[in-house]
Amino acid sequence: MSHFSQIKTQIRNLDSLKDALSELGIDWKPGPREVRGYRGQTHPAEISIEQENGYDIGFRWNGQEYELVADLQYWQQNLSVDGFLRQVTQRYAYQTVMKETSRVGFQVTEQKQQEDGSIRLVVQRWSA
């Protein structure tokens, strides 16, 4: 019986996910790779994050989104699973917004970290 848990996310763009993890200082490896779990069990993933205890965290495409896969019994991060996913999701959203606004000709004119942890962005586009 597998010990792996799959946690749904709203993450759909692999490049933005990679950029978000890098921005957070998380050492990740590109896949496809096998994420290591309990008793040598493995699970395929497009991104793996090795932990010091020998058990990995991964992100795997399920056909709709990149879900987090890990043996949660051996979670070894500074944040809880929910806290980790909140942080990754926020940076993912930021990366996605920055890429998309740039792609359609907008520029960030103001960026401010709010007291509640959210980020306020103001973008504009000049037209001729």
Q: Give the pLDDT of residue 96.
A: 92
Q: Does the reported pTM lie above 0.95? A: no
d(CA 119, CA 125): 20
Q: Give the pLDDT of residue 48.
A: 96
Q: Give the pLDDT of residue 128.
A: 63
Query: Hey, which residues does 51 pair with through a beta bridge?
Result: none
Residue 42 has pLDDT above 60, yes or no: yes
Q: What is the rounded average pLDDT for all residues in the chain?
A: 91
Instruction: Name the residue type at position 105.
Output: G
